[in-house]
Structure formats: structure tokens, C-alpha cells
A = this chain, B = another copy of it.
Amino acid sequence: MLFFTQCFGAVLDLIHLRFQHYKAKRVFSAAGQLVCVVNPTHSLKYAPTRCAAAQASTEQGIPPPCHHHEAVHDPQLVPCTCPLFSCPWEGHLEVVVSHLRQTHRINILQGAEIVFLATDMHLPAPTDWIIMHSCLGHQFLLVLRKQEKYEGHPQFFATMMLIGTPTQADNFTYRLELNRNQRRLKWEATPRSILECVDSVISDGDCLVLNTSLAQLFSDNGSLAIGIAITTSKVHSSEAEM
């Protein structure tokens, strides 16, 4: 009887741990790789009041307007590049990262190769999963978005943006990899600069695109693991061969 009581206690502990797992962004290491659990923006707390209207419009299915070029008066200043809110902040490129961390509570991770584990994939579109990634002396923003480009047919779009200029972005290649159920999907590209609009990258479809059925095949218990690697650019050798 004592054995069963202990088992029941252990199960309760596991359920509690599982609950904690879904409550916060967590980082842990699995088989030498840094795994970052990223919750959707529906779980994002402490959103600044000035962003509430934009957040509400996002939740109603209206993406926040892309107003990068409208807001800049001083060419030295860049607008807030957070894809979640149409935030009125503007500042120098060097302080964008601290603004994203402090105001928008976007986490930052170190490491050349990480695993981005997006939870609650079943949540309705539009939903975003966002993390910053510090690597090779630069910071990158990884955006996974669930969006209905065609009404009633949500798709997942994943892209990586450099928090830097387009010229700096040309020096890098990023790779996103999904691997599960005897299927593997890899996307490699040059990151776009954060000065370009993430919304237009996604609407152009120039990123990793997944239909819901394929996302389900790659998901485990409602979470999607995306392996991320960033390298300095080199000419794709096999391009010439093809």
C-alpha cells in the first residue's frame, strides 16, 4: 500500500513539473545541445501598457502594422523591431537587444547550436514564438509564427533575423532543422537584417514553411523542436554542381 502511495506521489510530482515546464521559458542541456523551451506569446506576461492595443489587435488576427520606415526621422535611430507589438520606441541599433530584453521580455541564449522547443503548437493563429540567439559576436532574433495566409488553413513560418545591418547579415548563414518520425526537413539561408520587416519576410514565404499536418508529424506532445545553427557565410559549393 505504501508503495502505491509513493507511486501516486511521484506521479503528482511529475504532473507538477510538467505544469512548471509550460509556465516559463526554460533552458536545459540534452545530449550536449542547449534546449530552450519557448512558450507562445499568449503566455507572455507583463506586456507594457503602451503595447496593449497592438497586442489586442494581434490577438484578433490583425497583424501589427509594419511601420519601420515611417517612424525613423534620425537615420542613426531605428524603430523597435519586436514583431509582437507596434511599439513607439526608437533608438540606436546597439541598444535594440537590451530594449527587446527589458521591455518585451524576450530571452537571449548563447551558443552556436541550440534547440528551440516551441510549446503549445495547437494554439490558434496568429501566435508567435520568439527568442534571441547570441552567437559569433552577434545577436539574432528567431521568429516562429503560426498564421492563416489562406483562411482556415494555418501554417507555420520560421525565420532568423540579424540584429544588425543587411551588410552584416550577408556574412552569415542560418540553418533550421526538424527531425522526427523518420522525416527530416532542413532550411538554410542568409539571415535578413532586423531593419527589414519580419512580416514581409513571412508574407513573401521566403522562410521555412510548414503545413499543419507536417508540423504535427514533427511535433512531440504538442511541442516542436527546431535545431538552429549559425555559421559564417561561404559559397554553397554544391550550388555550382546543380
Contact = CB atoms under 8 A, between A and B. Distances in A.
Interface of A: 30-33, 115, 149-150, 153, 173, 177, 179-180, 182-190, 204-206, 209, 211, 213-214, 217, 225, 227, 233, 236, 238-242
A227 B211 contact: no
A173 B180 CA distance: 14
Contact of A183 (B32, B182, B188, B204): B188
A190 B182 contact: yes
Contact of A184 (B184, B188, B241): B188
A22 B183 CA distance: 34
B182 A185 contact: no
Contact of A205 (B31, B186, B214, B227): B214
Given A153-B150, A205-B213, A180 B30 contact: no
A213 B180 CA distance: 27
A213 B203 CA distance: 10
A183 B33 CA distance: 25
Nearest to A242: B225
Nearest to A239: B179
A189 B182 contact: yes
B184 A185 contact: no
B209 A31 contact: no
A30 B182 contact: no
A211 B205 contact: yes
B214 A33 contact: no
Contacts of A179: 236, 238-239, 242
11 contacts: A33-B242, A150-B153, A179-B242, A180-B242, A183-B188, A183-B190, A184-B189, A185-B187, A186-B186, A205-B211, A206-B217
